[in-house]
Amino acid sequence: MTGPDRRVADVRRAVTGAVADLPDGALVLVACSGGPDSLALAAATAFVADRSVRRGPRVLRAGAVVVDHALQPGSADVAARTAAVCRSLGLEPVVVERVVVDAPGGPEAAARHARYEALDAVAERTGAAAVLLGHTLDDQAETVLLGLARGSGARSLAGMPPVRGVLRRPLLGLRRTDTVGACAALGLEPWHDPTNAGTADDAPLRSRVRDRVLPLLERELGPGVAEALAR
């Protein structure tokens, strides 16, 4: 009898480690956009919670939060479809939270501010012990590279912490290829945010770093740049 695909197992293992300290009966919410990172995380969290119920004695409850930034036409439909997929995975409750993106600092910063405020609010409202975010090693490398480019201080260059308050990032040790592969192995079809394509000159800065800068560094300096930045 063969086990799950390696990438599926790696994501499940990461989630298991990230929630190991939570008490019996704790509610964990997955922040799910429908993209490959958060979708793989949602499936893994549903699996870990279900296994805790079947195997005991510790029981973990798992739900999801889908934040609708209302920045693109049809965003409400995307959020509704993502919520339906989360429910089909066995996650409950699944909360769709529509936000207003109007904070200062540019569109990316404003969207991030609105998203984190929404996640904190839903966690408080539902009594969730943790909210899991789908940031990967690639996201961490991008964050550090952006910090270097902006001349940021030590706090920014330290990158994203695995745990900050109610927020937890189980996948910081895994690559984006792992989450894409996990979704494929599970037969899940992620939603691909068109604004994440960094090929256009007016694309968001992080998207341009992801699609143009990091691949260039890997090509010119050799493999391992992302891992080195994340370290």
| pLDDT over 80 at 201, yes or no | no
Question: What's this model's pTM, rounded to 2 decimal places?
Answer: 0.89
- Note the pLDDT tens digit of each residue in 135-153: 999 999 888 888 777 766 6
135 φ, ψ (degrees, to nearest 5): -65, 135
Give pLDDT, residue 197. Answer: 61
Per-residue confidence band for 202, with pLDDT thresholds at 50, 70 and 90: low
Give pLDDT, residue 157. Answer: 66
- Note the pLDDT tens digit of each residue in 70-108: 888 899 999 999 999 999 999 999 999 999 998 877 778
| pLDDT over 80 at 199, yes or no | no
59 φ, ψ (degrees, to nearest 5): -120, 130
Q: Kindly report the average pLDDT of the chain as a whole number.
A: 89
- The C-alpha atoms of residue 4 and residue 158 are separated, in whole angstroms, by 34
Query: Contact, 141 vs 225, CB < 8 A?
Result: yes
- Note the pLDDT tens digit of each residue in 24-45: 999 999 999 999 999 999 999 9
| pLDDT over 90 at 217, yes or no | no
- The C-alpha atoms of residue 29 and residue 26 are separated, in whole angstroms, by 10
CA distances from 156 to 35, 102, 142, 145, 159 (A): 25, 23, 12, 10, 6
Domain range summary for the chain, segments of one domain joined by +:
6-194
Of residues 4 and 148, the one with the higher pLDDT is 4
- The C-alpha atoms of residue 175 and residue 227 are separated, in whole angstroms, by 9
Domain 6-194 has CATH 3.40.50.620: yes
